[in-house]
């Protein structure tokens, strides 16, 4: 069955370079609605399970092609619509919200820092008593919270907004940074010591998806089949 796969939306600009092909080599099409452009392709649905990883790389390749040039609102990998008309209706209904977020986030990218227990030092419940394990776990939680605060303080002069989300084994810190200051972000974090019981992973730049308005985040989920 043929469906329409949506990649991302961004503000119209004649200087923007567009990718030629996307998932499974499908031609990348452009839906233009006033100042909003949206990239999409006709694809065979559902994707073959064995090719999902390859499809994900191809999908994110399209998004990254645009993101290297300007702010984007990426769709989720499996955001497919029955046909082009359904995509056009969706875009028309959400056009103003998409453009408002694109304008607001135009000059920014998302940087991330994950703080988590050092794997080599993570004790297993059956290796220590229940009381000791709980105390150790509580200590790690406190250490992670302190490390997150240190991250926030160290990049405070760079951040325009910060969000923290608790992960399964640690905390993810999302920081909204001006495009072009990614190196400054990494350098600032290098000055922050990491306690021996913790580890830290820095990544980015990424599209500022964590800072999208809820009105824009929700349709991405609702649009997926």
**Statement: residue 128 has pLDDT above 80:** no
Indicate if 46 and 69 belong to the same structural domain.
Answer: yes
Indicate if 101 and 9 belong to the same structural domain.
Answer: yes
Average pLDDT (153-180) is 95
Identify the domain containing residue 123 by its residue range: 108-207
Indicate the pLDDT class of residue 217, thresholds 50, 70 and 90. confident
Indicate if 121 and 51 belong to the same structural domain.
Answer: no
- Would you list the DSSP string of 121-164? G---GGGS-HHHHHHHHHHHHHHHHHHHHHHHHHTTTTEEEEEE
Indicate if 197 and 218 belong to the same structural domain.
Answer: no
Q: pLDDT tens digits for 5-63?
A: 999 999 998 888 999 999 999 999 999 999 999 999 999 999 899 999 999 999 999 99
Indicate the pLDDT class of residue 82, thresholds 50, 70 and 90. very high
Q: Which two tokens stand for residue 181?
A: 């200051």
Indicate if 71 and 128 belong to the same structural domain.
Answer: no
pTM of the entire structure? 0.89
Indicate if 87 and 171 belong to the same structural domain.
Answer: no
Indicate if 13 and 30 belong to the same structural domain.
Answer: yes
- At residue 125, the pLDDT reads 52
Tokens 């980015």, residue located: 204
Indicate the pLDDT class of residue 222, thresholds 50, 70 and 90. very low
On average, the pLDDT of the chain sits at 91
Between 182-190 and 130-154, two packed helices, what is the crossing angle to 10 degrees?
Answer: 130
Q: How many domains does the chain have?
A: 2
Peptide bond preceding 46 in cis form (omega within 30 of 0): yes
Indicate if 40 and 60 belong to the same structural domain.
Answer: yes
**Statement: residue 171 has pLDDT above 60:** yes
Indicate if 94 and 29 belong to the same structural domain.
Answer: yes
Indicate if 89 and 22 belong to the same structural domain.
Answer: yes
Using CA atoms, how far apart are residues 123 and 133, in angstroms rounded to an integer?
8
Q: Which residues does 200 contact at the CB level (< 8 Å), separation at least 6?
A: 113, 114, 115, 116, 147, 189, 194
């Amino acid at each position: 069955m043929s469906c329409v796969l949506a990649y991302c939306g961004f503000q119209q600009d004649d200087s923007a370079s567009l990718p030629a092909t996307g998932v499974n080599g499908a031609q990348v099409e452009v839906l233009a609605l006033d100042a909003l452009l949206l990239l999409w392709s006709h694809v065979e649905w559902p994707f073959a399970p064995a090719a999902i990883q390859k499809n994900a790389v191809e999908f994110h390749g399209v998004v990254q092609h645009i993101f290297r040039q300007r702010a984007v609102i990426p769709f989720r990998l499996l955001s497919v619509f029955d046909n082009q008309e359904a995509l056009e209706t969706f875009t028309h209904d959400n056009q103003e919200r998409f453009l408002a977020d694109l304008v607001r986030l135009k000059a920014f990218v998302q940087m991330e820092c994950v703080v988590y227990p050092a794997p080599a030092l993570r004790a297993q419940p059956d290796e220590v008593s229940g009381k000791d394990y709980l105390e150790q776990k509580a200590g790690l939680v406190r250490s992670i919270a302190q490390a997150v605060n240190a991250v926030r303080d160290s990049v405070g002069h760079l951040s325009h907004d910060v969000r923290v989300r608790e992960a399964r084994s640690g905390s993810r810190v999302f920081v909204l940074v001006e495009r072009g200051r990614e190196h400054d972000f990494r350098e600032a974090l290098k000055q922050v010591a990491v306690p021996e019981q913790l580890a830290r992973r820095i990544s980015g730049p990424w599209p500022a998806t964590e800072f999208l308005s809820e009105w824009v985040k929700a349709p991405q989920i609702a649009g997926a089949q």
